[in-house]
Structure formats: C-alpha cells, structure tokens
Chains A and B, each alone.
Chain A
C-alpha cells in the first residue's frame, strides 16, 4: 500500500488519513467510556460507608510525581514525532525509549500505590468510593499498559520496516493515544486526587 498509486482508486488515495480519522473516532468512543467512569466517581464521591475516606490515604506528592512522569512522557513522545518528520529513525527510537521508560515507571508507581492502599485497608471491596476509585484509575492504567505494549510492537515494526507509510500512520495513532491518556490523567488527577484530598 505504500507504493505510489497508479490506478484511479480513491479508497487508497487517502487510506492513511482514513486510518487516522478512524482512530480519532475510536478515541471519541474511549472518551465517553472515561466520561462515564468520571460521572460514576462523582456519584460515589462520598460513599465511604464504614471504610476510610479519600483524604486519609491520598498522598499528593506521590501523585504529583506520577503526573509529572506522564506529562513529560507526552513531551518526549512529541520529540519522537519531530524526529519522525525529520526522517530520523535513530532519533525517534531514542525518544520512544525514553517515553517507554517514563510510562513504565508511571505504571510501576501506580501498582505500588494500589498495593499500598489495599494493604492499608482502602481496598476496592471496602466501599463504593474505593470501588469507583480503583476502577477509574485502573482503567486509565490499563490503557497506559496497552500503550506500552503498542510501543514494544512499534520497536519491532520500526526495526523491521523502518519508516514506511504504515509505520508512520501507526506512530501518529499511537501519538494521539498517548496524548489522549495524558488528558484523561489530568482529569483523574483533578477529580480523583485533588478533590479527593480536600
């Protein structure tokens, strides 16, 4: 599909833009998924039952570090895309690696936080508040994990085929995905952690 088009065929002409458009549509769908989870969090924001409240456990400094890691990873992914537009495979791989490890650290910190919370008595089965907390944060985390897995696949794709059209499209979609997760995290940070710590 990457070779120049000799035949009159409009479905290939802009096939890559169709793919990117389709990915935007997918993100729209994902946005509604998170919107529902945010609404759910708001509904149960005070349903502590007999369990601990949010402010007993939320450690804003820890979460701030997580936030910075994820935001910086968005910037480094942006640098990778700049390298892509400069056709520099090596530069791109370097920035992708940095992004990957920032994302990985984020996930590790999140897992540590979950483990800590559960052992300290703020487990998802304690009350509706903690159920909503865990489901929302973990859904975001699962998306980030998916993004990391996608990056691993991209390393293989790139080392096999280099910067061909397909890989450029994939990198663009992954870029949209990664920035999207960043924006969702801003929502999580504000709604779950900042408001929860009040």
Chain B
C-alpha cells in the first residue's frame, strides 16, 4: 500500500532530518509557494489563471509559461552551482572539509547538470520556439495547439518531480548522464536514481511531442510564398533542431527504459553480471547526448542570425551558406559521439575516425561565425543589450570551440578526460554559446511579447556580470584541469589548487549578480504589468528598428490571432521588403478568424503523469496502474470532445482589436 515509504533503506525523510540545508530550502520553498497561492486567492486571479494560462492553447502564452519555468529552474540549477563553488573553495583536506558531506555533494552536481540541460535549457528553447516560430512564418498558431499545451504540462510535471526529490527521498549521485553500473540497483539502491529516470522520461516525452509539433508547423504552415529558402534562419535552425530531437530522444528514451528494466525487473542490459555491458549504455546515451548539444546550440545560432542583422542594419551575410552549414551540422552531429569516451579503448581506428569528424564539425560552425562577422562589417552597429549578448557569444564561443578542438585530439584527450579542463570546456561552449544567445533572444523578443523593452542599464549590467563572471569562474578550471584536478571532487588534498577554486567562486558570485540584474529587470516589467492590471496596451510593432522578419510587422503584444491578414511573402526578410516597398498595413475589411478552444485535458494529463512518475519512484503499484489508466482515459476523452472544438472570432472583434493598434500608430505619427 505504501510501497517504499515503509522501507527504511529508501530514506524517505532522512534528508529533511539530517541535512539542515535541505530542511531550510524545503521550508523556504514551501513558504514561497504558500504565499503565491495566498496572493493569487487574495487578488482573485484563479479564474483568469485557469482560463488564460493553464488551459490555453495559444502558442504565445504557452511560450511565456515555458520561459517562466526555465527561469525558475535556472535559479534552482544556479543555486546548486553556487553551493558547489563555495564548497570546493574550502574543501581542501579530508572528507569532512567544506560544508557538504559527500552524499549531498554528489546529489548536487547530478541535479545541477540534469536540471540545467533538461529543465532550464530545453524549456527556454521551447519557450522561444513557441513564441517566435509561428510569428516568423506568418501563421496563426502551431500545427497542434492541444499537443503544445500537453507538452508544456508534461515538462512541468517532470520539473516538479525532480524537485520533489529534494524533500522526499534522495536524488541520484551519479553525474548528469548516470553511467551504469553505478546507476544500477547495486550502486544506487535508493530512490534517487528512480527520480532521475522518471523525471527525465517525462521531459523526453514532452520534448518529443514539442518536436513533432514544430516540424509539422514549419513544414506545413508557412505563409503563402514563403519557400524553404525564404524562411528566416531561426526557423531553419528550429526545424533542424527539432528533426534532431526526433532522431535522438527515442535513443535516450530507450536507454533510460532499459536501465529502468534493469532496476525494476532485474534484467541485465548494463549490469556487470548476466552478460550485460555498461559500455552499451554509454554509447546510447552519447548517441543522444552529442546531437543534443546541437539541439541546444543550433537555435542559438539562429538567434544570432536574427539579432546581428537587426542591430547592424544590414541583411545577413551568406544566407545560403548559413542554411547549408546547419544541414552539414545535422549530419556530422551523429558521427562524433565517441569523442566523449576516447578512453573506452575503442582502438586506434575508432578513435581516429571520431577524432577527425570532431575536428571537421568545427568547419560549418566557423562558417557561421564568419557570416556574422561579415554581417557586422561596415554595418551601423548599435550596442543594445541583445547585440552585446551576441558579441559576447561570438567571442566566447570561438574560445570554447578551440578548446573543443584540443579535446578532439584523442591522445591529448586521454589527459583531459574527466578533468576540470573538460568541465571548463563544455561550460565555455554552453554558457558562452547557448546561454548568451538565449539571453540575446530573450531580451530581443521581450518587447514583442509585452510591448515594453527590459530596462537597458540593468540589461547591460547583466551582460557584463555574466561575461566577466564567466571568465573568472571557468578559466581557473582550465588551469586546474591541466594541474590534474578531476571533475566531481568532494575534497582535495593539494593546497596549491585552492586559490583557483576561490577565484572560480568569486566568478560564480559575479554571475549571480548578473542573474540578480535580470530578476530586477523582470520585476520592473512585472510592476508595469501590475499597473495595467494585466491588460497590456499595444505598442509599436518594430521597437528595435530595422527588424527584418514577419513577427515585427504586427503589434506588440500581438493579438491572439497573430495576423489579421496572412501576409503574402515574396522575398527573404519579408517585413524588410514590406518596409522597402512601402506597402501599407490593411486597416479594414477583415474576415472571421477560426480559433481553437481551450482545453483542460493537457493540464490533467500532466498532473496525472506527475502522479505516475511519483508512484513509479516509490513503488506504489496500485497508484501506477490507476494514474496510467487515467492518463489514457483523459486523452481518449479529449479525442471525443475535441471534435466540436474551436470557434470563430467575428470580423467585428478583429476590427476592434486592429483599430486599437491603428490608433496607437496614429498617435505616435508612425506610418505603417
């Protein structure tokens, strides 16, 4: 009846009893959660929250919810990072050095990696996809609005499940990709590994659902006249990134499912006995893991290809080569996975092959860097916050790429493998390449979503803190790696390492200041929304000036239906062409617009999948059966009620909404 709760080995509440840090965190999170609930009730927001957000199928609102989830998880993952840096700065000596016991420290580095990749980067990515893609291709919504809602809620339940492990039971102590046999029952008998498996399976399912949606949206719903080679580069990168997701997430799903079979059913895939082979898991997981890097970084490249031309007031240099570089990366990204474990002992032929392909993949990436540089060349560059993030990205990412080429040399890799040099390298590419670009995109598209720009000074401060903080936090790790420090050290006995760890900690705190600046920016924006009682007034369509793509042709924030008239695209950079030809915005004569209805099925399916995950972790078999059957029942029920789904927004309503925008433009004297 109570599954593993009655099993003392599962340590259901031991972290709360013996780890004051965990106890205080859980209490603090509980209080914040309670205050939020009280706030919502006092302001009477439950109705609007349910109607406008939880059950929404509007891609713009779902996009905003994804970004909020990602920012919350960023803070969670970043606190883990700060704790590790603070711990390592003082952890010289024995096991009792520092303030984190080994068991807790191991959980923290596992949670940090897992949360940052699966519950921070991926939701932020899908947030941007959701908000921007339909607007850029001139569509009124994504191909499958219900699936969009469902995917969000399953992601959310995955995130809640992984955070539940803080309070109830443990989290895994296995590193972010959970290599067996340590992650088998023999190495990780308690609930931590099961939290890991099921929360990531949920995230994987949601990501796959999202990818199906975006591939279908981009292929089938582009505005008339927008051929593939007239799509903005961000759409191209999104398409390829989602194709990659469709090809690699099944591999991850299988790898985790097989590991779960080992753990739950006593099978022998990755065990040391019974003919199992742990290296098989490591191969599967990196067949997923390496392309996943490109899933994250390709859209980052896409963001730069949007932001750099806007703030250079020039068209993107080398559009065609950009697209081909993306396609080449798609193919090559499948041919490099073994470079994550040259030390497997694959032999000279295997290592040489993967070493060479790894070096080759630097070529299309370099093409992109040159294209952005040539876009800026002789451009009229404006150093607004999004452009600063882009410049920081180009500078930093090239450096990260160079150390990547160092790691790709197999004999040298035997030295670098699992050292802090490696840790510094992948943070160099992921923070420098992915995080900086996503922030560029976030700041760039923020005024599209809310009508106002984020505070400029705070934005520049945020960038400078991240930029300086990054170099301070990670360059000492390169040096430490070369001095022989391995990753995931709970303590070390070499006192000459300590100064470097202290510098790295200072860097992490400077990054924390950057995050604080972003939080302040957001608080200012929330205050603005609060003053307008949540109904944001429309603002000009092109706040940055010189924007080139279709999302900037409609009001900020856009109306629910996006485009009153579906644009007719004739060239690349469709909105730029409209401005150049001086085509006028249509102000009357609108038709009725078909809109999809809201649905609560996604929310309930998400909630039930959280219960399912929790029941699987704690071996509550009756609850597993009950919640699984309920999920299927909800989806089937939805299929029966959704037939009569959708309604028409009358042309009168459309006229009213468009008139607001016309009035605003006229009041500002803008001709459009």
B245 closest partner in A (C-beta): A29
- Cα–Cα distance between A40 and B284 once the two chains are bound (Å): 9
Q: Mark B249-278, 1 if CB is under 8 A from A, else 0.
A: 111011101100110011111000111110
Contact of A43 among B141, B251, B280 (CB under 8 A): B280
Contact assessment for B212 and A29 in the assembled complex, using a CB-CB cutoff below 8 Å: yes
- Cα–Cα distance between A47 and B268 once the two chains are bound (Å): 10
By a CB distance below 8 angstroms, the chain A residues around B412 are: none
Contact assessment for B254 and A40 in the assembled complex, using a CB-CB cutoff below 8 Å: yes
Binds B, one of A1-9, A79-87, A89-97, A183-191: A1-9
Q: Would you list which residues of chain A between 117 and 133 have a CB under 8 Å from chain B?
A: 124-129, 131-132
Contact assessment for B591 and A11 in the assembled complex, using a CB-CB cutoff below 8 Å: no
Contact assessment for A47 and B220 in the assembled complex, using a CB-CB cutoff below 8 Å: no
Interface centre among B257, B269, B277, B593 (most CB of A within 10 A): B269
Shortest CB-to-CB span from A39 to chain B, Å, is 8
By a CB distance below 8 angstroms, the chain B residues around A48 are: 275
Q: Would you list which residues of chain B between 126 and 156 have a CB under 8 Å from chain A?
A: 139-141, 143-144
Contact assessment for B267 and A124 in the assembled complex, using a CB-CB cutoff below 8 Å: yes
By a CB distance below 8 angstroms, the chain A residues around B211 are: 25, 29
Contact assessment for A7 and B213 in the assembled complex, using a CB-CB cutoff below 8 Å: no
Shortest CB-to-CB span from B515 to chain A, Å, is 35
Interface centre among A33, A48, A128 (most CB of B within 10 A): A128
Shortest CB-to-CB span from B558 to chain A, Å, is 15
Binds A, one of B13-21, B413-421, B617-625, B638-646: B638-646
Contact assessment for B277 and A126 in the assembled complex, using a CB-CB cutoff below 8 Å: no
By a CB distance below 8 angstroms, the chain A residues around B215 are: 22, 25
Q: A8-B566, A37-B254, A166-B643 are in contact. Are A22 and B275 (CB under 8 A)?
A: no
Interface size bracket, A side: 35 or more
Contact assessment for A44 and B275 in the assembled complex, using a CB-CB cutoff below 8 Å: yes
A156 closest partner in B (C-beta): B640
By a CB distance below 8 angstroms, the chain A residues around B266 are: 124-125
Contact assessment for B284 and A18 in the assembled complex, using a CB-CB cutoff below 8 Å: no
A interface, over-half SS = helix
Contact of A26 among B212, B223, B639 (CB under 8 A): B212
Is A75 part of the contact surface with B, judged by Cβ < 8 Å? no
Contact assessment for B276 and A128 in the assembled complex, using a CB-CB cutoff below 8 Å: yes
Shortest CB-to-CB span from A1 to chain B, Å, is 6
Q: Mark A28-50, 1 if CB is under 8 A from B, else 0.
A: 11101101110010011001110
Q: Would you list which residues of chain B between 593 and 636 have a CB under 8 Å from chain A?
A: 593-594, 632, 636
Is A60 part of the contact surface with B, judged by Cβ < 8 Å? no
Contact assessment for A25 and B250 in the assembled complex, using a CB-CB cutoff below 8 Å: no
- Cα–Cα distance between A128 and B275 once the two chains are bound (Å): 5
Q: A1-B646, A9-B593, A125-B266 are in contact. Are A18 and B275 (CB under 8 A)?
A: no
Q: Would you list which residues of chain B between 207 and 231 have a CB under 8 Å from chain A?
A: 208, 211-213, 215-216, 219-221, 223-224
- Cα–Cα distance between A129 and B246 once the two chains are bound (Å): 28
- Cα–Cα distance between A129 and B213 once the two chains are bound (Å): 36
Is B666 part of the contact surface with A, judged by Cβ < 8 Å? no
- Cα–Cα distance between A37 and B348 once the two chains are bound (Å): 28
Is B79 part of the contact surface with A, judged by Cβ < 8 Å? no
Contact of B276 among A47, A135, A153 (CB under 8 A): A47
Interface centre among B143, B144, B592 (most CB of A within 10 A): B143
- Cα–Cα distance between A84 and B276 once the two chains are bound (Å): 49
- Cα–Cα distance between A44 and B270 once the two chains are bound (Å): 11
Shortest CB-to-CB span from B321 to chain A, Å, is 27
Contact assessment for B249 and A18 in the assembled complex, using a CB-CB cutoff below 8 Å: no
A136 closest partner in B (C-beta): B254
A31 closest partner in B (C-beta): B250
Contact assessment for A11 and B277 in the assembled complex, using a CB-CB cutoff below 8 Å: no
Shortest CB-to-CB span from B630 to chain A, Å, is 14
Contact assessment for B246 and A28 in the assembled complex, using a CB-CB cutoff below 8 Å: yes
Contact assessment for B219 and A131 in the assembled complex, using a CB-CB cutoff below 8 Å: no
A-B contact count (CB 8 A): 144
Is B458 part of the contact surface with A, judged by Cβ < 8 Å? no
Shortest CB-to-CB span from A165 to chain B, Å, is 10
Shortest CB-to-CB span from B285 to chain A, Å, is 11
Is A115 part of the contact surface with B, judged by Cβ < 8 Å? no
Contact assessment for B247 and A128 in the assembled complex, using a CB-CB cutoff below 8 Å: no
Is A14 part of the contact surface with B, judged by Cβ < 8 Å? yes
By a CB distance below 8 angstroms, the chain A residues around B257 are: 135
By a CB distance below 8 angstroms, the chain A residues around B277 are: 43-44, 47, 128
- Cα–Cα distance between A126 and B268 once the two chains are bound (Å): 8
By a CB distance below 8 angstroms, the chain B residues around A127 are: 268, 274-275
Contact assessment for B275 and A11 in the assembled complex, using a CB-CB cutoff below 8 Å: no
- Cα–Cα distance between A37 and B212 once the two chains are bound (Å): 21
By a CB distance below 8 angstroms, the chain A residues around B261 are: 124, 131, 135
By a CB distance below 8 angstroms, the chain B residues around A132 are: 269
By a CB distance below 8 angstroms, the chain A residues around B247 are: 28-29, 32
Contact assessment for A125 and B269 in the assembled complex, using a CB-CB cutoff below 8 Å: no
A149 closest partner in B (C-beta): B632
Contact assessment for A18 and B143 in the assembled complex, using a CB-CB cutoff below 8 Å: yes
Shortest CB-to-CB span from B225 to chain A, Å, is 11
By a CB distance below 8 angstroms, the chain B residues around A40 are: 254, 258, 269, 280, 284
By a CB distance below 8 angstroms, the chain A residues around B141 are: 11
Contact assessment for B274 and A18 in the assembled complex, using a CB-CB cutoff below 8 Å: no
- Cα–Cα distance between A198 and B144 once the two chains are bound (Å): 47
Contact of B591 among A7, A17, A22 (CB under 8 A): A7
By a CB distance below 8 angstroms, the chain B residues around A57 are: none
By a CB distance below 8 angstroms, the chain A residues around B221 are: 10-11, 18
B252 closest partner in A (C-beta): A36
Q: A11-B139, A29-B208 are in contact. Are A131 and B268 (CB under 8 A)?
A: yes
Contact assessment for A36 and B254 in the assembled complex, using a CB-CB cutoff below 8 Å: yes
By a CB distance below 8 angstroms, the chain B residues around A124 are: 261, 265-267
Is A12 part of the contact surface with B, judged by Cβ < 8 Å? yes
Contact assessment for A25 and B216 in the assembled complex, using a CB-CB cutoff below 8 Å: yes
- Cα–Cα distance between A124 and B277 once the two chains are bound (Å): 15
Q: A18-B143, A22-B212, A25-B215 are in contact. Are A36 and B284 (CB under 8 A)?
A: yes
- Cα–Cα distance between A128 and B277 once the two chains are bound (Å): 8
Q: A28-B246, A29-B212 are in contact. Are A10 and B275 (CB under 8 A)?
A: no
By a CB distance below 8 angstroms, the chain A residues around B645 are: 1
By a CB distance below 8 angstroms, the chain A residues around B593 are: 7, 9
A5 closest partner in B (C-beta): B594
- Cα–Cα distance between A157 and B258 once the two chains are bound (Å): 36
Shortest CB-to-CB span from A181 to chain B, Å, is 16
Interface centre among A7, A17, A37, A48 (most CB of B within 10 A): A7
Contact assessment for B143 and A22 in the assembled complex, using a CB-CB cutoff below 8 Å: yes
Contact assessment for B566 and A10 in the assembled complex, using a CB-CB cutoff below 8 Å: yes
- Cα–Cα distance between A21 and B277 once the two chains are bound (Å): 38
- Cα–Cα distance between A53 and B196 once the two chains are bound (Å): 34
By a CB distance below 8 angstroms, the chain A residues around B280 are: 40, 43-44
By a CB distance below 8 angstroms, the chain A residues around B273 are: 49
Shortest CB-to-CB span from B431 to chain A, Å, is 30
B591 closest partner in A (C-beta): A7
- What are the 7 tightest A-B residue pairs by CB atom distance, in nearest-first order? A47-B275, A128-B275, A33-B250, A49-B275, A131-B267, A32-B250, A22-B216
> Given A47-B277, A48-B275, A127-B268, 11 more contacts at CB 8 Å?
A1-B594, A1-B645, A9-B591, A11-B594, A25-B211, A25-B212, A28-B246, A29-B246, A32-B246, A44-B277, A127-B275
Q: Which residues of A contact B (CB under 8 A)?
A: 1, 6-12, 14, 17-19, 21-22, 25-26, 28-30, 32-33, 35-37, 40, 43-44, 47-49, 51, 124-129, 131-132, 134-135, 149, 153, 156-157, 160-161, 164, 166
Name 15 interchain pairs, CB-CB below 8 A, sorted by A.
A10-B224, A17-B220, A25-B246, A29-B211, A32-B250, A36-B255, A36-B284, A47-B277, A49-B273, A132-B269, A135-B267, A153-B636, A156-B640, A161-B643, A166-B643
